[in-house]
Homo-oligomer: A and B are copies of this chain.
């Protein structure tokens, strides 16, 4: 049974609050507002989109604070940061979500998530063989999604 958004928002605000306390960081309204906005939205987003969205909601935040807060949220594992081949960081909320990786359509930009236990096996083996303490990973598959393939076939006929 999936918990509703309100419950999740409460939980993450609480987790963030405890994290800030532990790290002796200040609990500013901006930080909580940004976290809340992230968890009320879906999908992947970049820093600029989040900033614009905050502005549209009449929050008075700066880009600097958005970047600052995103970094904190990444550090306490409430948000994941990705790079899907472009020079642009993409973020996504991660609390309560299963660990997953991404397939990206090079044509339409669509991002689809998937999960494969073999990724963990690879991490374990590499950590062992190469003597690394692996903290996280990034696996992106790039290609063309079904609908874009069809569109291509259509236009070439």
Contact = CB atoms under 8 A, between A and B. Distances in A.
A15 interface: no
Contacts of A114: 126, 129-130
Interface in A93-118: 103, 105-106, 112, 114, 116, 118
Nearest to A137: B141
Contact of A144 (B89, B132, B143): B132
A131 B145 contact: yes
Report copies per complex: 2
A32 interface: no
A14 to B, nearest CB: 28
A123 interface: yes
A142 B131 contact: no
A126 to B, nearest CB: 5
Interface in A112-157: 112, 114, 116, 118-119, 121-123, 125-127, 129-146, 149
A29 interface: no
B123 A121 contact: no
5 contacts: A103-B130, A106-B135, A122-B141, A132-B145, A137-B141
A132 to B, nearest CB: 4
A143 B134 contact: yes
A130 B104 CA distance: 11
A26 to B, nearest CB: 26
B137 A140 contact: yes
B137 A144 contact: no
